[in-house]
A and B are shown apart, each in its own frame.
Chain A
Amino acid sequence: MGDRAIQTADMPKEWRTRKVRTRALNKRLSYVRRHWMLLAMVVPGMLYLFINNYLPMFGIVIAFKDINFAKGIWQSDWIGFDNFAYLFQTQDAWVITRNTILYNGAFIILGTVIAIFVAILLNEVKNRFFSRLYQSIILLPYLISMVIVAYLVLALLNEENGYMNRYVLPLLGLDPVSWYSDAGKWPYILTLVHLWKTVGYSCIVYLAAIVGINQEYYESAMLDGASKWRQIRSITIPLITPTITIMTLLAIGRIFSSDFGLFYQVPLNSGALQPTTDVIDTYVYRGLMTFGDFGMSSAAGLYQSVVGFALVLFTNALVRRKNRDLALF
């Protein structure tokens, strides 16, 4: 078990002599030396992340400052948590937080289940031509930008000449609906649009994991006369669990953030829909649109990150307790 084994073996007690500690250090050094090549391989990526992701993180201080460029970012005045105030001071704070979490929760659960289901199903299509065809077609929605999706949804839901009101509802003997002022329907609409757009993409991940499974497992299962369902339950699902876990953990980390286009463009920024479509990102965007305050926008970002971070640490600890190998770190 790698470096951990060295750390724990012969844990030196406080009163032990320096010699022992030096020996442990030497042992560790020689371990690093033995695996230097593996370590060297990670250098480009870490360097990149350092420049692209860690350097800009100095900007987190902006969330606590009253930025004045005449003084410079570092010399600007500290103002504590003032920039965070607007996130909590209205009763909307509760609504947007609730919306954000409920949508993301639904997206994580439904999105994962459906993507895995589709991936397994795709793997069952033995005809290569059809398999590729289906896969390409269901990926299509992912490639279309949200702005265009918003127009397509409008084409379906338009009050006067949308497909729903013109063809579908009359066919079912129902009255036309004012879609863009009926807030109650939008949790379903947005969830559907999200799934429609992303399932083709996220199922690729699971498909790749399934394709990577050693065929011998299935062969021996079939020799034992295991049913399809049984094979899925006892071979496929357990073997792709690492992928499921990681995708879910990463999604949990972003549970306070949301796909801005989905929540802003698709409901056409309609005020009447705000009670069920407003999420943290759209609230922040609208609130700061006119004066573009850096401090307040980075405060919002930091708030989302910290909550996500805490949730991931918590979930990761749970996962780790169950199965060390599945945990993120």
Chain B
Amino acid sequence: MKNQSTRSNIDWMVVSLYFVLVVLGWLNIYSSSLPLEETSIFDMSQIYGKQLLFILLSIPLIIMILSIDGKFFEKFASVFFIVSLLSLAGLFVFGKEIKGQANWYSFGSFSLQPAEFAKAATALALSKYMGDVQVNLSAYKYQFQALGIIFLPILLIIPHDPGSALIFSSMILVLYREGLPAWYLWTGFIAIILFILSLLFEPIYIVLAALLVTIAIFFKSRPMNRNVVLSSIVFVLISAFTFSVDYVFDNVFQQHHRDRFNILLGKEVDMRGIGYNINQSKIAIGSGGWTGKGFLEGTQTKGGFVPEQHTDYIFTTVGEEWGFTGSLIVIALFVALILRILYLAERQKTKFSRVYGYCVASILFIHFFINTAMVLGLFPTVGVPLPMFSYGGSGLLAFTILIFIFVKMDANKVNEW
């Protein structure tokens, strides 16, 4: 019996980690959004009440995903992908603006964030494409097509939600696992380094440094490997990139974007204006000490000092109330979940489910990393939620779908023989 085998093959470790994180997340939302008066935990007018509703909703959703035939997701991957691309495009017309970003569709009292669901759809589409036997990432044609699947949603989303765009780009790591040449990653890595450097120093110094390095590499390498044309091209590209970063930063970025970088690079110290969020966030976490102030005892949390604490800054509650110990446990749980998914992905029998597992792991990882780094003042402020923790129905349900599709694929693998 199929159902029987599915149930016994479910990876209970992933499922338990998922539920532990969801419950811990809710406890922190409860703490950060608890009003001063006594209320019921089911009070739907309160943030934590709504989140509890979403958690309860995710249970039938999980059961549904687990009982659907495993082939269903592969068959309909393209459909999901097209629907989410359309829903992202529709934001330009019908999008509702919440907190300055038109990321939402509004249905009466409910709002839906299509970008959250598009992550799972893109992961499915990429897996389906990679699952094709012909696809071989050593050929340019396939490289571009695979990258195209990732960049299509990015193009649609970057104008109103640069944070989510970053999430999608993490799937390039999956392509590397599947054979994408390493120089793609090197290029990306060097671009990031150059970006940061050109914000810190005048572009002309970076170009001079790049020239020295290029010449040094040129003469260090063996004469037969010396390629004047390639070296010059690389140097020209680096110079062009450096100057364009400088230009884009000064002329295309808006002031609040610039401020976010400047805070991080220590160029701004205005702790009441733009630096307020990040400063309050650091204070809340820093005041936690070894063991924290205890559940519902966080003074920064209770005082409402950290803006957006129940969404993007939920980790500050963990840091303040549970201290270093609690934060360590939460981080360990996330790492365990992500590594477990990677481990299961490597065990998959089909390329489709392996690629999908990798996508899930990268998406979870990039969320986790960017969110915690931002809260700790290591990354500029972008709207990236902490999976399972941050308040938000769309986010929670989308992560549930993302993870449990993989749980279903993994449970199904015995039947693939």
Partners in one complex: no
Interface residues in chain A, defined as those with a beta carbon under 8 Å from any beta carbon in chain B: none
- Could you list which residues of chain B lie within 8 angstroms of chain A, going by C-beta atoms? none
